């Protein structure tokens, strides 16, 4: 069964709102085993919305519309669905009772335009909204199906989990899709494809897809199976062959961010970390503390932009600064070791670099960054030359610092 998403809202086209709903809905459909072939975004415009919905109904069996169910004049989804399917709008008394009850319970006034939210296309069934005012729409056009949900993420997700997914599961009965993501570093997308070309060319089940991530390359294995155990049996031989060929470049599986992998490794080893940042200005500490429970392994950090701060708080040698410069492998290592010793951590990370747009030289151009990792078990320093904007360089430096620590934790793991 083929599905399509129609995301409604001019704010999405203007870039004012990030469309997290499409990502969530795509995952839900994959979990249900429903193939998603198209995703469109359209502004709050009658003509364009009607055309987009008509196109979706021509080529897809299930169309999920997100947004446009509010009470104001630019919320057009109800009217567009009715017009595109040749139906009138009818007033749903039960929906209106629920809307007024919720508004009174929240101490909000009930206005005439709220009645618009109780209008449904003839023959449609109301989808209850457990956390908001706007009800959804379930319109069965057998064999096609139109599902309309609010654009507010919390409301959309609650309605999907409580009502839409159970109904879709009962309707389709399809085997769910399972995916396994393998993550690689130290090899480019083209080189990885070359190593696995014969596997990719003769792929069937599971399918093999390569795509570039942030500082890594990923392989997604996907199959349709009746259970997780069956999917595992299908994945196993393909994954083993991939590991046999490029296993030295494989550093993780799954979709967890690198900071979550670092957190797990630190927790398992009962180790702690502290950071000394210059050009990243706290981005590294922010990522490490974004994981719940970070207080168990993250002791603190020092933002050391000025050289005298590097000297006084981190113990960086003045002569080292003078002879090698603040942006150097030597200073990065002294920063990492200094913050480790000062805060009493098992691991220390130090970052120093030139994020730009000015400050670069012929020998140390903008994008030059040194990252060091220090511990009682060993030290290592890496030199990067990133390209891009100031923000891109800073974020890439923080990312690479996390990868450096993760690799060190794996290499020095006593287990």
CATH code for position 61: 3.40.980.10
Residue 276 and residue 350 in contact, taking contact as beta carbons nearer than 8 Å: yes
Query: Could you check whether the bond before residue 357 is cis, i.e. omega within 30 degrees of 0?
Result: yes
Residue whose structure tokens are 């993250």: 298
Q: Which helix (H) or strand (E) holds 362?
A: none
| Burial status of residue 144 (CB atoms within 10 A of its CB: 0-12, 13-18, 19 or more) | middle
Residues 75 and 224 in one domain: no
What is the predicted pLDDT for the residue at 141?
96
Same domain for 66 and 165?
Answer: yes
Range of the domain at 291: 258-411
Last-in-domain residue among 122, 156, 172: 172
Q: Which of residues 117, 137, 172 is at a domain's end? A: 172
Same structural domain, 377 and 248: no
Q: Please tell me whether residues 268 and 396 are part of one structural domain.
A: yes
What CA–CA distance (Å, rounded) separates 220 from 232? 14
- Tell me the β-bridge partners of 126: 137
Last residue of a domain, one of 138, 172, 206: 172
Same domain, 262 and 248: no
Cα distance between residue 150 and residue 129, in whole Å: 9
Both 159 and 199 in one domain: the answer is no
CA-closest candidate to residue 210, choices 236, 190, 230, 227:
190
Rounded to whole angstroms, the Cα distance separating 220 from 212 reads 11
Residue 272's CATH number: 3.90.950.20
List per-residue pLDDT tens for the chain, 415 residues long: 899 999 999 999 999 999 999 999 999 998 898 999 999 999 999 999 999 999 999 999 999 999 999 999 999 999 999 999 999 999 999 989 988 988 888 888 888 889 999 999 999 999 999 988 989 999 999 999 999 999 999 999 999 999 999 999 999 887 888 999 999 999 999 999 999 999 999 998 999 999 988 889 999 999 998 899 999 999 999 999 999 999 999 999 999 999 999 999 999 999 999 999 999 999 999 999 999 999 999 999 999 999 999 999 999 999 999 999 999 999 999 999 999 999 999 999 999 999 999 999 999 999 999 999 999 989 999 999 999 999 999 999 999 999 999 999 999 876 6
In whole angstroms, what is the distance from residue 53 CA to residue 67 CA?
Answer: 13
Beta bridge partners of 370: 352, 383
Question: Do 137 and 181 sit in the same domain of this protein?
Answer: no
Say what the pLDDT of residue 44 is: 96
CB 262, CB 272: distance < 8 Å: no
- The total number of structural domains in the chain stands at 3
If asked whether residues 158 and 205 sit together in one domain, one would say no
Which pLDDT value is given to residue 415? 62
Question: Which residue, among 41, 43, 79, 39, has the nearest Cα to 59 in the 3D structure?
Answer: 39
Across the beta sheet with 298-303, the strand order is 298-303, 273-277, 347-353, 368-375, 378-385
Q: What angle do CA 143, 149, 153 make, to 5 degrees?
A: 140
For residues 224 and 181, membership in a common domain is answered with: yes
Q: Does 64 lie in the same domain as 98?
A: yes
Residue 191 belongs to domain with CATH number: 3.30.70.2860
Distances (CA, A) of 107 to 88, 100, 102, 241: 32, 10, 9, 62
Same domain, 158 and 289: no
- Regarding whether 217 and 88 lie in a shared domain, the answer is no
Secondary structure class of 382 (helix, strand, coil): strand
């Amino acid at each position: 069964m083929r599905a399509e998403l129609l995301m409604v809202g001019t704010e999405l086209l203007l870039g004012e709102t990030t469309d997290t709903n499409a990502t969530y809905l795509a995952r839900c459909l994959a979990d249900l085993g429903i193939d998603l072939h198209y995703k469109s975004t359209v502004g709050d415009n009658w003509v364009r919305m009607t055309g987009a919905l008509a196109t979706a109904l021509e080529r897809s069996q299930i169309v999920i519309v997100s947004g446009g169910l509010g009470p104001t004049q630019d919320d057009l989804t109800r009217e567009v669905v009715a017009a595109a399917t040749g139906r009138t709008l009818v007033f749903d008394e039960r929906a209106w009772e629920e809307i007024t009850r919720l508004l009174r319970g929240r101490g909000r006034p009930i206005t005439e335009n709220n009645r618009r939210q109780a209008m449904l296309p003839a023959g449609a069934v109301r989808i209850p909204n457990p956390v908001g005012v706007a009800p959804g729409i379930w319109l069965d056009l057998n064999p096609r199906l139109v599902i309309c949900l609010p654009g507010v993420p919390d409301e959309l997700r609650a309605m999907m989990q409580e009502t839409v997914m159970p109904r879709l599961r009962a309707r389709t009965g399809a085997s769910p899709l399972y995916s396994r993501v393998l993550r690689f570093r130290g090899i480019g997308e083209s080189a990885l494809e070359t190593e696995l070309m014969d596997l990719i060319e003769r792929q069937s089940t599971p399918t093999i897809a390569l795509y570039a991530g942030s500082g890594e390359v990923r392989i997604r294995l996907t199959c349709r199976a009746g259970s997780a155990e069956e999917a595992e049996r299908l994945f196993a031989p393909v994954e083993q062959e991939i590991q046999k060929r490029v296993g030295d470049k494989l550093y993780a599986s799954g979709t967890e961010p690198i900071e979550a992998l670092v957190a797990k490794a630190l927790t398992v080893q009962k180790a702690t970390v502290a950071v000394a940042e210059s050009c990243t200005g706290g981005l590294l500490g922010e990522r490490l503390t974004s994981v719940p429970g970070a207080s168990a392994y993250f002791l603190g950090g020092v933002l050391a932009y000025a050289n005298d701060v590097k000297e006084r708080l981190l113990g960086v040698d003045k002569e080292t600064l003078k002879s090698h410069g603040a942006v150097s492998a030597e200073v990065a290592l002294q920063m990492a070791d200094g913050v480790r010793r000062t805060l009493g951590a098992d691991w220390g990370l130090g970052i120093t670099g030139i994020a730009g747009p000015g400050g670069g030289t012929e020998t140390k151009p903008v994008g030059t960054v040194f990252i060091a990792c220090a511990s009682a078990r060993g030290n290592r320093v890496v030199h990067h030359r990133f390209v891009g904007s100031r923000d891109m360089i800073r974020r890439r430096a923080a990312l690479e610092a996390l990868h450096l620590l993760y690799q060190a934790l794996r290499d020095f793991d006593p287990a």
